[in-house]
Amino acid sequence: MNNIKKRIVISICFLLLGVLIYFLFDIGLLTKENLVFSIIRDFLPDLCWILSFFFISIIFMAIIVKHSIIINSIYVFLVSILYECLQYFNIAKGTFDMLDILNYIISILIACLIEKLIRRKENEKIV
């Protein structure tokens, strides 16, 4: 599978996982009765969506700039902070939460690690 297709598949998988988590809570299959499910409901979808956004945007960043992982990480972080600010001022739906910002930072670090692993594998195949 080529590099772009691989990142698109990863992005779609994370996006679908985030949607699935919300869906399972919305239809009542999962409930926030305990701490683990509460954490899953409140933070895992955001993590999935940040990862999905990261891998879609890195495709375009790699075309534009040389150090795409760093630039893309900053870009994704700024977009997610903007969304939280919009929530704070009641412009966007949702609730402003500092834990979401921490979640975004962790998500971006995870995405960077995954991207580094993908690039390492791609370089091994070239040699």
Condensed to tens digits (0 to 9), the pLDDT of residues 84-117 reads 999 999 999 888 999 999 999 999 999 999 999 9
Residue keyed to tokens 């698109």? 8
How big is the chain by its Cα radius of gyration, in Å?
16
Confidence of residue 22 (pLDDT cuts 50, 70, 90): confident
Between 29 and 50, the more confident residue is 50
Report domain extents, the chain.
3-126
Residue 110 tokens read as 């995870």
Q: Which helix (H) or strand (E) holds 48?
A: helix 35-64
Residues 6 or more apart whose CB falls under 8 angstroms from that of 105 comprise: 77
Residue 42 has pLDDT above 90, yes or no: no
Stretch among 9-23, 53-67, 101-115 having the lowest mean pLDDT: 53-67
pTM of the full structure: 0.84
Calpha distance 85→79 (Å, rounded): 10
